A = this chain, B = another copy of it.
Amino acid sequence: MPLKPDLPEPESVERRVGLAIVGLGKLSAEELIPAIRTSQHTRVAALVTSDLEEGRSFARAFDLTENDVYSYEQFEGLKDREDVDAVYIVLPNSLHREYTERAARMGKHVLCEKPLSVNAEEAQAMVEACRAAGVHLMTAYRCQYTPHHWAARNAVQSGTLGQIKLLDSIHVQVEEDPEAWRMKLDLAGGGPLPDVGLYSLNIIRFVLGTEPEWVFAAQHQPKENPLFREVEESVAFMLGFPGGVIANCLTSYGAHKTTTLRILGDQGSALMDPAFSYTGLSLSLTDKAGETLPAFASYDQFGLEIDHFAQRIRDGKTPWTPGEEGVQDHRIMDAIYQSARTGQVVRLGASAGQDLFRGEKPDLPGQEN
């Protein structure tokens, strides 16, 4: 039988970074756990959920045992699980701080879904708790780990587009369940802004590498609509960056799903549309000679993000999107809400340098750093 395939040997399950998934919602069940099950460097080692019955059926479905399922009260039971290196927090935003702090106290590293918290102050407390405990805190900014978004950033940073002048981004979708935790101010900390608008904000900062100096925003909250009793329906915001660069953004829970990013330079422009979806990302670069759509080998967005976290745990270096990156977005979102309330421009002060709140660059498939 001469048919030996020439395949990369996958890492043995036992040697992988073990993750406890904290929170079994739609994102965990449909995206994260399947992604982790096909990742190279991590594995699901435990599940933390309010519904033990459901947790056990998940465990059965994914080759875990009943002993791998924990209630939130049993969370500290993970401390002695040597095969659990880190927790991945996939809970409502208002709970991020508590579980980050509890995990840090157990010496477990923390990967926390975005937004990092509900405001800059809470987020900063999380950073400090992890620093004090000597564990990593990484904000799960998936889009800062894909070849598509890095190619957009490289087009900016390398000068391919000339001098960048303006940016424009849209992330809107329709939410229909007034009972979802996303629609509750105390659980979510805001409406579409910290949930989907954050992608626009975060990726504009990522491609530029600089920080906004001022913001202006307007919001719309039709309180007579049960959906928007607590949180806004839409926010339009404008960001002023060093050198006169301006970015326009739109976010909403009341408009048909659209995710775009457009970067306008004097030599060319870049368009991502869709810009933030789980699959099917598209990047187009246009200049005088025409339009180019770079090709990328296929990849799993969550897999790349999670494997970066695993590598940083192993080498001890700061993740590319540490807690500080999440804090900075909260600082800006706090200013956006303040502007929307007051109708005034809010200044954020100047900040010098590139990638001020970021750590070690990720290794991307087929990319030289």
Write the residues of chain A forming the contact surface with B, with a CB cutoff of 8 angstroms.
1-5, 7, 9-14, 23-26, 28-29, 34, 37-38, 50-51, 54, 57-58, 60-63, 72, 91-92, 161-163, 165-166, 168, 170, 172, 174, 181, 216, 218, 220, 222, 233-234, 236, 238, 240, 244-246, 248-250, 252, 254-256, 258, 260, 262, 264-269, 278-280, 286-295, 298, 343-345
Contacts and interface: CB of A to CB of B under 8 A. Distances in A.
A40 B106 CA distance: 35
17 contacts: A3-B50, A5-B25, A5-B54, A7-B54, A9-B54, A9-B57, A10-B29, A12-B61, A13-B60, A14-B60, A63-B63, A166-B250, A236-B248, A256-B264, A290-B295, A291-B292, A291-B295
Work out how many copies of this chain go into the complex.
4
Contact of A12 (B57, B216, B245): B57
Contacts of A216: 216, 218, 238
Closest 10 CB pairs of A and B: A220-B244, A10-B61, A255-B264, A290-B295, A1-B50, A248-B248, A290-B294, A291-B293, A12-B60, A5-B25
A173 to B, nearest CB: 10
Nearest to A280: B280
Contacts of A249: 248
A236 B234 contact: no
A216 B166 CA distance: 16
A363 B186 CA distance: 42
Contacts of A266: 174, 254-256
